[in-house]
Amino acid sequence: MRTVFVGAGQVSVETAKALSEKGHEVVIIENNKDKIDELSEEMDCSFLLGDGSHPQILCEVSPNQTDFLFCLTNSDQANVIASLIGHSLGFKRIVTSITDPQFESICHELGLMDTIIPSRTVTRYLVDMVSGSENIDPSSVIKDEARLFMLVVAEEEAVTAIELDLPEAARAICYYREGEFSLVDDTEPFVVGDEVVILTDSKHLAELKKRWPSTVVAQDSDEPKE
């Protein structure tokens, strides 16, 4: 796998080190030369000096040959811009980090479905810890040919789960409406903007992706990501 990071913050550096140790090709784009000089002495990866939200810089890291583009600077705006430019340049998968939840819905409207809010992830983990809940890695339950697929409901799809006309081995199991989790009720229609999670056999992924191109897919960690 080939991964490009925009920004050399702590998350980027630690993730890049872990990927490099596993034999993955890693490139870090950073606009601070002193930081690059410092990191290049301790990391076995490539560096590119420049602004990762600039088209010319992103073109230099060969978008068509890159499996992941992680936009992890300390600026939400820079991450969103870099992600949008990366999308237009043909990066296969783009992950956008934001700190302000107000950007989340905007990112989804722009087709940036792999949007993460680090503080939210940490908060959930700590709350679960205090509550005594076990944190289950999705890869431990999504096995064999099972896959999770998430779609965002468009205006013409504001129908019930049954009327979505999903493949035989696919079921809508839950959805998020304005960030709130709910289980699917087959008699209740979805509304525009709902994020619907579908459990499906992997054989239906191509069909689902054709209907909903901008998606998030979870699968067994032993296989390469879609």
Query: In the beta sheet, which residues pair with residue 197?
Result: 150, 174
Largest CA distance in the chain: 60
Question: Using DSSP, how many helices (H) and how many strands (E) does the chain show?
Answer: 7, 11
| Secondary structure, 3-state, 71-100 | ECCCCHHHHHHHHHHHHHHCCCCEEEECCC
Whether 36 and 13 have beta carbons less than 8 Å apart is answered as no
Give pLDDT tens digits for 137-184.
666 667 778 888 888 888 888 899 999 999 999 999 999 998 889 999
- The yes or no reply on domain 138-218 and CATH 3.40.190.10 is no
pLDDT for residue 87 is more than 70? yes
Neighbours of 138 (CB within 10 A): 11
Q: What superfamily in CATH does domain 2-122 come from?
A: NAD(P)-binding Rossmann-like Domain (3.40.50.720)
- pTM (two decimals): 0.65
pLDDT at 109: 87
Structure tokens at 201: 């056999």
Q: Is 26 left (phi over 0), alpha (psi -120 to 50) or beta?
A: beta
Residue ranges of domains in the chain: 2-122, 138-218
Residue 225: predicted pLDDT: 41
Enumerate the β-bridge partners of residue 181. 176
Residue 118: which pLDDT band, with cuts at 50, 70 and 90? confident
Whether 3 has a pLDDT exceeding 50, the answer reads yes
pLDDT at 218: 54
Confidence of residue 221 (pLDDT cuts 50, 70, 90): very low
User: Does pLDDT of 217 surpass 70?
Assistant: no
- Mean pLDDT (whole number) for 120-136: 73
pLDDT at position 33 is 96
What is the share, in percent, of the chain residues with pLDDT greater than 70? 90
- How does DSSP classify residue 190? P
Closest listed residue to residue 199, CA positions, set 138, 149, 151, 140: 149
pLDDT surpasses 60 at 64? yes
Residues 4-49: tens digit of each pLDDT: 999 999 999 999 999 999 999 999 999 999 999 999 999 999 999 9
Please say whether the dihedral angle defined by the alpha carbons of residues 162, 164, 165 and 169, taken in this order, is positive or negative.
Answer: negative
Position with higher pLDDT, 96 vs 226: 96
**Of the candidates 43, 7, 51, which has an alpha carbon nearest to the alpha carbon of residue 25?**
43
**SS3 at position 46:** strand
Average pLDDT score over the chain: 87
Q: 10 Å Cβ neighbour count for 38?
A: 12
What local confidence, expressed as pLDDT, does residue 216 receive?
A: 55
β-bridge partners, 147: 200
Residues 55-78 have a mean pLDDT of 96
